[in-house]
Amino acid sequence: MDRYAPRARSLHITLDSVRRAKGVGHPDSICDGIADDLGAEYAAVTLLSQIGAPVTEPLAVEVETTTRDDGEIRRLVTAELERLDSFSRALVAGDVRLF
């Protein structure tokens, strides 16, 4: 590796949600989608993404949950990543303002 080549930098994002009797979690998170749609009592999602890369193309995704429906988990994670990517593109383009 060329010592002057830029190093790949990564951003580690963790989203957690624990479902209890009344439901605890962050609204509209990947974890809440898994818990609500699939009836999981617990869901934790860890995403590893490279800075500057689309959020829809993570380097790694780890899901820990009490449900076993892998196809539905993949669908929910993909849909949420596409929503986040769409929002970040709109933010960069100036179509969305935070304040």
Report the length, in residues, of the chain: 99
| Average pLDDT along the chain | 69
pLDDT over 60 at 46, yes or no: yes
pLDDT tens readout for residues 66-98: 888 888 888 888 887 887 778 777 877 888 776
- Domain residue limits, the chain: 10-93
Mean pLDDT of 15-25: 46
Alpha carbon of 67 to those of 31, 38, 72, 78, 92: distances in Å? Answer: 12, 7, 10, 17, 36
Beta bridge partners of 44: 16, 64
For residue 24, what pLDDT is reported?
Answer: 44
Across 21-41, average pLDDT: 63
Mean pLDDT, to the nearest integer, of 7-19?
52
